[in-house]
Chains A and B, each alone.
Chain A
């Protein structure tokens, strides 16, 4: 099945969670959840591509690096992203993200994301082979 995303409750901030049949799918879902903290991903037209590479000593820090790389691109390019292609072996990640420049009227962005935290951080695969990748992002 395809990547899915959801938010989970956190006192002041927002928990982002992605699920999928593989780690890359779960990371894709987490990236969509990150966008959804700002706006409805369905409103973001995937027309411009950027490339992201990260490397980390563990799967969970790789998730944090991946989300923070997207936060950096969102911040410095004033863009939002809605489509992702992720490949990863759990230590290295290569990805393409498609999106467009922020349009205040159309996207109504609620908040800017300051960074991905290590709170509630987990990247796990259950016995059925379903992957889940999550953490809290500071907004």
Chain B
């Protein structure tokens, strides 16, 4: 985008003043280079978000913002239910509660080396991934409802994990207010074979090494040290969430005029929070969030089984689990006054600062862990939420790098087999049922996550704590 379109209000903040139907300004967090690299559609989409009823402060775009649907990916917006504020199925997206879970292993890299090949093979066999893959778990109707209400807490109660896992999950692994009654038969049917599956596209399970530490104190609180072996699981609510998004997007798009809402882009389909449709969506979305939390918990358990077979001295502990496609009710200070707001984060991560009571006690002094995903050969990052971010971005930070080229371009530029061989030469073992999928997710198809993370840090959204490099990658 042309930076000339914006008012530069600080080194890393660019404002689009409220014009036309915009109720608030749009605010983008980026340096000049990142802003120039963003598609013009990002500016258009964030300005569209600013027109939605009840929006508070500004429509925000994180440093990794890119062209999404409705909201930009990397978009954040908060709405006040008392001022006609809305909840948007398009603003949450199809992959409800897609997120990242990080596991500690207690292992150092030298302890993994000889086992890396067999472990890659074992995880590739153990973790259901890719199109048409199915999980081992089938739930009857009553148990399905308990899963939707209980999330990871339900999974632990059924033997997939332990109580300590839950202490280190956002919301303790269970989102309140889920309403299984709002989950349709189609959504249930889509999930029937998909409990405990990874999915495809940019979802993955990676064994990684802590390669750099940027903040010793926070890293120590998080249990991270140089050369530690860790595991990242990136996936969401699977078919159930996709179907919930599909159904409510349609219903909200059709109902919007009846609610007096003029949509600049139908993908922003939404309903007042205080409406029957808004309440039903929130109940369904929270159930889908629990489905995602349960899914990542089951995948954690499957991963533990594999490590017990091959590396029994490893102790897999949940470091943190945080989602990046959500709408959550949170209290934020606006002009010095606490207000209960519904914060949409579409491809953006919650990033509570030090002292926030929602952060596990062990991490509270450091701030909430913010988990930033990579892709195959690229790094992942652990950041920490900041006090400044609470004021600047409703406690939100980036979630990844964002694509630099389309899937089609990537598939034409690279062959999956070459990508796998090149990464093997760098010591990264890839296991995937689809070479085309690997080509579409080639590391070069993504922007440099380091720039995004540096800007997030310098803009005060979240502090850099540790950089992780992949060793084994299971892709769908």
B407–A117 CB distance below 8 A: no
A114–B192 CB distance below 8 A: no
Q: Given the known A-B contacts A72-B186, A118-B267, A138-B95, are A108 and B435 also in contact in the complex, defined by CB atoms under 8 Å?
A: yes
B189–A11 CB distance below 8 A: no
Residues on A with C-beta less than 8 A from B41 are 11
CA distance A29 to B207 in the complex (A): 41
A-side interface residues, number (CB < 8 Å): 38
B69–A102 CB distance below 8 A: no
The residue of chain A having its C-beta at the shortest distance from the C-beta of B440 within the complex is: A110
* Interface 1/0 per residue, B369-413 and A, CB below 8 Å: 000000000000000000000000000000000110011110100
Identify which of residues 61-75 in chain B touch chain A, using a CB-to-CB cut-off of 8 Å: 66-70, 73
* Interface 1/0 per residue, A53-78 and B, CB below 8 Å: 00001000100110010011001101
Residues on A with C-beta less than 8 A from B435 are 108
CA distance A119 to B69 in the complex (A): 6
A115–B94 CB distance below 8 A: yes
CA distance A78 to B465 in the complex (A): 42
CA distance A101 to B439 in the complex (A): 23
Report if A123 contacts B (CB, 8 A). no
Report if A10 contacts B (CB, 8 A). yes
A11–B406 CB distance below 8 A: yes
CA distance A101 to B434 in the complex (A): 16
Report if B250 contacts A (CB, 8 A). yes
CA distance A39 to B436 in the complex (A): 9
Identify which of residues 5-56 in chain A touch chain B, using a CB-to-CB cut-off of 8 Å: 7, 9-14, 38-39
* Interface 1/0 per residue, A91-134 and B, CB below 8 Å: 00000000001101001111110111111010000000000000
CA distance A67 to B269 in the complex (A): 18
CA distance A112 to B476 in the complex (A): 9
Q: Which of B93, B130, B239 contacts A109 (CB 8 A)?
A: B130
The residue of chain B having its C-beta at the shortest distance from the C-beta of A68 within the complex is: B246
The residue of chain B having its C-beta at the shortest distance from the C-beta of A120 within the complex is: B69
Report if B459 contacts A (CB, 8 A). no
Identify which of residues 199-251 in chain B touch chain A, using a CB-to-CB cut-off of 8 Å: 199-201, 239, 242-243, 245-246, 249-250
Report if B358 contacts A (CB, 8 A). no
Report if B334 contacts A (CB, 8 A). no
Q: Which of B69, B131, B409 contacts A136 (CB 8 A)?
A: B69
Q: Which of B95, B253, B434 contacts A104 (CB 8 A)?
A: B434
The residue of chain B having its C-beta at the shortest distance from the C-beta of A57 within the complex is: B254
B68–A76 CB distance below 8 A: no
Residues on B with C-beta less than 8 A from A10 are 67, 406
B434–A110 CB distance below 8 A: yes
| Cβ-Cβ contact count across A and B, 8 Å cutoff | 136
Q: Which of A12, A64, A138 contacts B250 (CB 8 A)?
A: A64
A75–B90 CB distance below 8 A: no
The residue of chain A having its C-beta at the shortest distance from the C-beta of B134 within the complex is: A78
Q: How large is the interface on B (under 10, 10 to 19, 20 to 34, 35 or more residues)?
A: 35 or more
A65–B73 CB distance below 8 A: no
CA distance A22 to B471 in the complex (A): 52
* Interface 1/0 per residue, B465-476 and A, CB below 8 Å: 000000000001
CA distance A13 to B407 in the complex (A): 7
B190–A72 CB distance below 8 A: yes
Report if B280 contacts A (CB, 8 A). no
Residues on A with C-beta less than 8 A from B264 are none
Chain A proximity of B317: nearest CB distance (Å): 31
Chain B proximity of A68: nearest CB distance (Å): 5
The residue of chain A having its C-beta at the shortest distance from the C-beta of B438 within the complex is: A110
Identify which of residues 264-287 in chain B touch chain A, using a CB-to-CB cut-off of 8 Å: 265-267, 269
Report if B118 contacts A (CB, 8 A). no
Q: Given the known A-B contacts A104-B132, A104-B434, are A118 and B201 also in contact in the complex, defined by CB atoms under 8 Å?
A: no
Q: Given the known A-B contacts A14-B407, A109-B132, are A72 and B433 also in contact in the complex, defined by CB atoms under 8 Å?
A: no
B73–A11 CB distance below 8 A: yes
Report if B437 contacts A (CB, 8 A). yes
CA distance A65 to B186 in the complex (A): 13
A72–B250 CB distance below 8 A: no
B93–A138 CB distance below 8 A: yes
The residue of chain B having its C-beta at the shortest distance from the C-beta of A14 within the complex is: B407
CA distance A14 to B353 in the complex (A): 36
B407–A114 CB distance below 8 A: no
Residues on A with C-beta less than 8 A from B73 are 11-12
Q: Known pairs A12-B403, A13-B69, A110-B437; list 12 more (Cβ under 8 Å).
A: A11-B41, A12-B402, A14-B407, A39-B436, A71-B246, A109-B433, A110-B411, A110-B439, A111-B440, A115-B246, A117-B69, A119-B69
Residues of chain B having any CB pair with chain A under 8 Å: 39, 41, 66-70, 73, 90, 93-95, 130-132, 134, 186, 189-190, 192-193, 199-201, 239, 242-243, 245-246, 249-250, 253-254, 265-267, 269, 402-403, 406-409, 411, 433-437, 439-440, 476
Counting from the closest, the 7 A-B pairs by CB-CB distance are A11-B67, A109-B131, A119-B69, A102-B132, A110-B436, A114-B242, A114-B94
